[in-house]
A and B are shown apart, each in its own frame.
Chain A
Amino acid sequence: MLKLTGRTETTGFASPVTDDVWRACAPGESAAAGTLACLVPAGERPTAGYGLYLIREARAPALPGPAILLGPDLAHIESGDIIHVAADGRRVTVLWKNSALHNGLLLTEQCDNYCLMCSQPPKDRDDSWLFHRARRVISLLPEGARSLSLTGGEPTLRADALIGLLEHCQQVAPRLSLHLLSNGRRFADPEFTRRYAAVGIADIMVGIPVYAPEPGLHDFIVQALGAFDETIHGILNLASLGQSVEIRVVIQRHTVPALVGLATFIARNLPFVGQVALMGLEMTGLARPNSALVWADPVDYQRELVEAVDILTTAGISTRIYNHQLCVLDRTLWPYAVRSISDWKNDYLEICQSCSVRDACGGVFTTSGNRLSQHLRPVR
C-alpha cells in the first residue's frame, strides 16, 4: 500500500509557488517547462531553472529554487508522477502514479444518486476546481501514459465541463485509454450523448452501475426514483452511437437475491455491453453506517455468483469479478477474478502470508477496516 498524500517540509518557499500541479522529473528533462518539479538525487547538485525541487533528505546545499522535502511516506514519488502541492508547500498529494496500472481523477463529489453502499459519499458543494485540476493533470501526463479513470461523484452532472475535459484529452492525449465512471442517467438525454460521442475519443468506456433487473430494487439501492429508467435509457443511447459501455454490479445484501435475474436481464436486454464487472463491497463511505443493510459475506453468495457468471459468459459477454479474495471465491470463478484493488489501497492480512495464491489475489481493501469476510484463509 502506498501513501498518496502526506505532510511535507519546505525550504525556500518565501513566496507561494505559482502552480499547484507539477510533474516530477529527473534532472535534465527539459528544464524550460515551468510545471516540472525536479527530483534531486541524493548528493547531486540540481540544475537551475526548475520552478520546484523535490528532495528526499534535509541538506545544506542551497537549491536554485523553492524545494519540498518529501518524507518517507512520499519517498516513492518518481519521475513521471504528477503531484498537487498545497499553496504553502506543506502538503503533497500524488494525482498520477506513473508506475500504477490504475490512475483515477476525481472530477466532482456531487451526485444525483445516493447509493446505500457508496464508497465516496456525495457532497453537495461547489467543487468545480476539481475539473480545472483534472485538466492540468491531463496536460502534464507523461509520454506513454496509457490509461486513466475519470470518477466522481457523478462526472456528467456538469455536462459542459465534462465535454470540455474530454475534448482536452482528445487534443493533448489522443492515445489515452479512458474509463469514465457514471451512473449513466445523464446519457438518457440524447443530445448529451451525441455531444459525448462527437468528441471522438478512440478508446473510452463508460462504467455504469446497474444493480437490479427492474426499477423497484435499483431505485431503492441508488436512493433515487426514476434512476433505473434513466440509466437503462442512457446505456441504450450510448450503444446506439457505438459507444462502449461497461456494467458494474456491486454485490451487496440486496443485489444477491437479484443477481441471477440481473445477469439474465443483461444477457437478454443489454448483450452488447463491452464488459460486466461483478464487484465486491468496499466497506467504506456510506457502506459503513449502512453496514447492516448492505454487508454480504462472499461465501454466502457463491451459488448466485457462479450462476450469474455462467449466464453472462455463455451469452458471450466478457465478465470480470472485482474485489474478491480468491479464498472466498468458488474455484470455477478464479479465471474471472481480477486483481482489481488499486495498489494504494490494497493489503494482505497476516494469514495471507502462507497463502499459495497470494500473488494472484488482489488482497483486501485497507479502506474496509475490519469488515471482511469471516472466511478468509490461506489457500494451500
Chain B
Amino acid sequence: MIKLERASTTLAPYGWQLLPMRFHHLDADSAILTNMVGEHVFVTPDELVAVVDGSCVDQEVLARLRAAHLIQIPGETLPAELLAIKLRTKMRGLSDSTALHIFVVTLRCEHTCRYCQVSRQSSAKSEFDMTEETARRALELAFRSPSPRLKIEFQGGEPLLNFPLVRWITDEAKRMNSSHGKDLAFVIATNLALLDDEILDFCADEGVHISTSLDGPQELHNGNRRRPGQDSWQQAVAGIRRVQDRLGQDRVSALMTTTEASLAQASEIIDSYAELGLRGVFLRPISPYGFALRGRGGANYDVSRWLDFYATGLGRIVELNRQGVPMVEIYASIIAKKMLTNTDPGYVDLASPAGIGIGALVYNYDGGIYASDEGRMLAEMGDHTFKLGNVHDASYADVMLSDGLLNPLMESLALSAPMCATCAFETYCGADPVFHHATAGDFIGHKALSAFCQRNMGVFTLLLRMMRDDPYFRKLMRRWAQSC
C-alpha cells in the first residue's frame, strides 16, 4: 500500500546546501553544530566533515540537521522563514530598551568587604547620599524608557543607610507611573544588617524584592565581608529568614562572589544556600574592578580554577535536584534559555548588543549616569569612559544617543567581533565592552586572551557536554530555561 518509497524522500549525497552554521569540537569524538538562533545538534567529527563536504549518507544525521535548520534542499524557503521568525522573536526585546534602573542612593556602607567594587565611605558622611532632587530627575529619565516594564533597584553602598530616600523614590515612582502604566518592580540590594520592622513593613506594603549577598558558610562569608563585630554572616542569615517569614520564600534572593578562598568550598557554598531554603545560586566570578584588584581582594585566581569551582558547584546543585531539593544555578539557567528557547533572557552581562545603557542605566548618588554598574566602578577608579552624563543637565536623548553609549555598543557587537563572528556559541554569549575596556583597553579585546571569552567558552562546553551525556540534566536545563 505504498505509493512513495522511503528512498524517494531521503537526501542524496550532494543534495543539500548548508544554512548559516558554526561548529565547535567538544571532545575527540564529538562536535556541536549551532544555527543562527542557537539550536544545536551533536555530531561526530567525521559526520561534520561528511555533512560539510556533501558526502554524508547517514539519513538520521541529515534529518536532525534539517530539523534544526542547519541544512536544506536548494530552493526550499521554509527553513529561512522559520529562522527569521525565531530570530525576530529573540531580538524582540531590543525595542523595549532599558528595563533596569539602578539608583545608588548612597555610597556609604558599614561593611568593608575585601572585594568591594565601589570605594567605600564612612557611614557618617552624608555628602555621599543621593538627594531627592537628583532622584526625581533620575526617575524622569527612567520613565522615558520605552520598556513596558521598569525595575528600580536600590544599591549602594548600603541603600538602607539612606532608607528615607528609598521610600521617597518608591512613592514618587508610583505616583509618576499613574500616568505611564508600566509594570513597576522594586529591588533593594542590601547586606540586611540594618533590616528592621519598619523596612520589612515597607517591603511588604510595596511588594519590594530583597537581593542580598551570601558568600557561603560563616567563616568564608565573614572572611570576605568585613564589618565591625565580624557578624556579617549572622546578620545576613537572620535577615534572610526574617524576609522569608514575613514576605515569603521567594521574595529574597542572594548573590555570592567567588574569592580565592571560595574555590575549595563549592559544595559547602551550595549547601549553605539550600539550608536557608534559597532556590537559586548564582555562581559568579569576581569582577576585575574596585578593591578586588588589590592583592587581598580575593581575585588571585585564573579562569581555569574558577571553571573547576563552577563545575563542582553545578554538580552539587544537580545532585540536590536529584534528591528532590529544587535549586537553580542562575548563570546556567540564563544560558539554558538562550540554548533551548527563542526568548532572550535579557541578562545585561551576557547580551549582544551589550546590555550597557539599553539593558540597564545606573544613577550614581551624585547624579552621574552610567551605562552599567561596572562602568560606575571604573569611574570610582578614575576612568569615566562609561559615564553618559548627569541627571541635572542631560536629556534622555543626550544619554541614549551619546557616542559614549553607541560606540561601545556598535563596536562590541558579537556578531561582528573578530573570533566571535565565527564562534559556535555566539548566540549564547554576549558582548562586554566594559570588561574588555578595563582589561584590554578597547571595547572588543582579543578573544584568545580574554578571560570573559575563556570563562564563557568553559561554561558553554561544560553545559553542552552535560546535556549531551545526561538526560536528567537535559530535563533540568529545560526547566531552568523557563525559570528566568
Question: Would you call B479 and A314 a contact (CB within 8 A)?
Answer: yes
Q: In A154-209, which residues have CB < 8 Å from any B CB? A: none
In-complex Cβ contact of B471 among A229, A307, A314 (8 A): A307
**Chain A residues, Cβ within 8 Å of B86:** 268-269
**Contact bitstring B1-28, A, C-beta under 8 A = 1, else 0:** 1111010111100000000000000000
CA distance A216 to B4 in the complex (A): 11
| Residue A369, interface by CB 8 Å | no
| Residue A64, interface by CB 8 Å | no
**Chain A residues, Cβ within 8 Å of B226:** none
**Chain B residues, Cβ within 8 Å of A257:** 60
| Residue B321, interface by CB 8 Å | no
Question: Would you call A316 and B342 a contact (CB within 8 A)?
Answer: no
- Which one of A17-25, A124-132, A220-228, A342-350 is at the B interface? A220-228
| Residue B63, interface by CB 8 Å | yes
**Chain A residues, Cβ within 8 Å of B482:** 314-316
| Residue B59, interface by CB 8 Å | yes
Question: Would you call A310 and B475 a contact (CB within 8 A)?
Answer: yes
**Chain A residues, Cβ within 8 Å of B60:** 257
Q: Among the interface residues A214, A223, A293, A316, which one has the most CB atoms of the partner chain B within 10 A?
A: A214
Q: Given A223-B2, A232-B78, A233-B78, A217–B9 Cβ distance below 8 Å?
A: yes
CB distance from A263 to the nearest CB of B (A): 11
CA distance A274 to B3 in the complex (A): 33
Interface residue range, chain B? 20 to 34
| Residue A213, interface by CB 8 Å | yes
**Contact bitstring B51-68, A, C-beta under 8 A = 1, else 0:** 000000001101110110
How many chain A residues touch B (Cβ–Cβ < 8 Å)?
36
In-complex Cβ contact of B478 among A219, A258, A310 (8 A): A310
| Residue B82, interface by CB 8 Å | yes
Residue in B closest to A233 when the chains form the complex, CB atoms = B78
Q: Among the interface residues A215, A257, A265, A267, which one has the most CB atoms of the partner chain B within 10 A?
A: A215
| Residue A30, interface by CB 8 Å | no
Q: Given A213-B67, A289-B1, A314-B478, A225–B78 Cβ distance below 8 Å?
A: no
**Chain A residues, Cβ within 8 Å of B481:** 314
**Contact bitstring B326-359, A, C-beta under 8 A = 1, else 0:** 0000000000000001100000000000000000
Question: Would you call A215 and B66 a contact (CB within 8 A)?
Answer: yes
Q: Given A214-B63, A220-B4, A236–B478 Cβ distance below 8 Å?
A: no
Question: Would you call A116 and B67 a contact (CB within 8 A)?
Answer: no
CA distance A311 to B2 in the complex (A): 32
**Chain B residues, Cβ within 8 Å of A212:** 63, 67
Question: Would you call A286 and B9 a contact (CB within 8 A)?
Answer: no
CA distance A311 to B479 in the complex (A): 9
CA distance A47 to B455 in the complex (A): 88
CB distance from A311 to the nearest CB of B (A): 7
| Residue A301, interface by CB 8 Å | no
**Contact bitstring B396-410, A, C-beta under 8 A = 1, else 0:** 000000000000000
| Residue B76, interface by CB 8 Å | yes
**Chain B residues, Cβ within 8 Å of A214:** 63, 66-67
CA distance A229 to B75 in the complex (A): 12
CA distance A89 to B112 in the complex (A): 96
CA distance A328 to B82 in the complex (A): 36
| Residue A139, interface by CB 8 Å | no
CB distance from A269 to the nearest CB of B (A): 5
CB distance from B337 to the nearest CB of A (A): 12
CA distance A106 to B355 in the complex (A): 56
CA distance A215 to B4 in the complex (A): 13
**Chain B residues, Cβ within 8 Å of A265:** 67
CA distance A212 to B2 in the complex (A): 18
| Residue B81, interface by CB 8 Å | yes
Question: Would you call B2 and A315 a contact (CB within 8 A)?
Answer: no
Question: Would you call A236 and B81 a contact (CB within 8 A)?
Answer: yes
| Residue A261, interface by CB 8 Å | yes
In-complex Cβ contact of B63 among A116, A258, A314 (8 A): A258
Q: Given A310-B478, A316-B482, A220–B1 Cβ distance below 8 Å?
A: no
CB distance from A238 to the nearest CB of B (A): 14
Question: Would you call A216 and B64 a contact (CB within 8 A)?
Answer: no
Question: Would you call A116 and B66 a contact (CB within 8 A)?
Answer: no
**Chain B residues, Cβ within 8 Å of A354:** none
**Contact bitstring B451-484, A, C-beta under 8 A = 1, else 0:** 0000000000000000000010001001101100
Question: Would you call B341 and A315 a contact (CB within 8 A)?
Answer: yes
Residue in B closest to A217 when the chains form the complex, CB atoms = B63
Question: Would you call B1 and A290 a contact (CB within 8 A)?
Answer: yes
Question: Would you call B63 and A268 a contact (CB within 8 A)?
Answer: no
Question: Would you call A216 and B9 a contact (CB within 8 A)?
Answer: yes
CA distance A233 to B79 in the complex (A): 11
**Chain B residues, Cβ within 8 Å of A13:** none
Q: Given A217-B9, A269-B82, A310-B475, A261–B3 Cβ distance below 8 Å?
A: no
Q: Given A261-B64, A315-B341, A268–B39 Cβ distance below 8 Å?
A: yes
Q: Given A261-B67, A268-B86, A314-B478, A219–B9 Cβ distance below 8 Å?
A: yes
Q: Among the interface residues B64, B67, B78, which one has the most CB atoms of the partner chain A within 10 A?
A: B67
Question: Would you call A229 and B3 a contact (CB within 8 A)?
Answer: no
**Chain A residues, Cβ within 8 Å of B39:** 268
**Chain A residues, Cβ within 8 Å of B85:** 236, 269
Residue in A closest to B41 when the chains form the complex, CB atoms = A261
CA distance A245 to B10 in the complex (A): 28
| Residue A334, interface by CB 8 Å | no
In-complex Cβ contact of B4 among A223, A258, A264, A269 (8 A): A223
CA distance A264 to B37 in the complex (A): 14
CB distance from A131 to the nearest CB of B (A): 27
CA distance A312 to B8 in the complex (A): 31
**Chain B residues, Cβ within 8 Å of A286:** 1
**Chain B residues, Cβ within 8 Å of A336:** none
CA distance A293 to B1 in the complex (A): 10
**Chain A residues, Cβ within 8 Å of B475:** 307, 310
Question: Would you call B11 and A216 a contact (CB within 8 A)?
Answer: yes
Q: Given A223-B2, A268-B39, A315-B341, A216–B76 Cβ distance below 8 Å?
A: no
Question: Would you call A223 and B3 a contact (CB within 8 A)?
Answer: yes
Q: In A273-311, which residues have CB < 8 Å from any B CB? A: 286, 289-290, 293, 307, 310-311
Question: Would you call A311 and B82 a contact (CB within 8 A)?
Answer: no
Question: Would you call A216 and B342 a contact (CB within 8 A)?
Answer: no
Q: With A212-B67, A215-B9, A223-B4 given, can you name 12 additional A-B contacts, CB distance below 8 Å?
A: A116-B1, A216-B59, A219-B4, A220-B9, A225-B8, A232-B82, A233-B78, A265-B67, A268-B86, A269-B85, A289-B1, A310-B478
By Cβ-Cβ distance, the 5 closest A-B pairs, closest first, are A213-B67, A214-B66, A220-B9, A214-B67, A314-B478
Can you list 29 A-B contacts with CB-CB less than 8 angstroms, sorted by A residue number? A116-B1, A116-B2, A213-B66, A214-B66, A215-B9, A215-B66, A216-B9, A216-B11, A219-B4, A219-B9, A220-B9, A223-B4, A224-B4, A229-B78, A232-B82, A233-B78, A233-B81, A257-B60, A258-B63, A261-B64, A261-B67, A265-B67, A268-B39, A268-B341, A289-B1, A290-B2, A314-B479, A314-B481, A315-B478
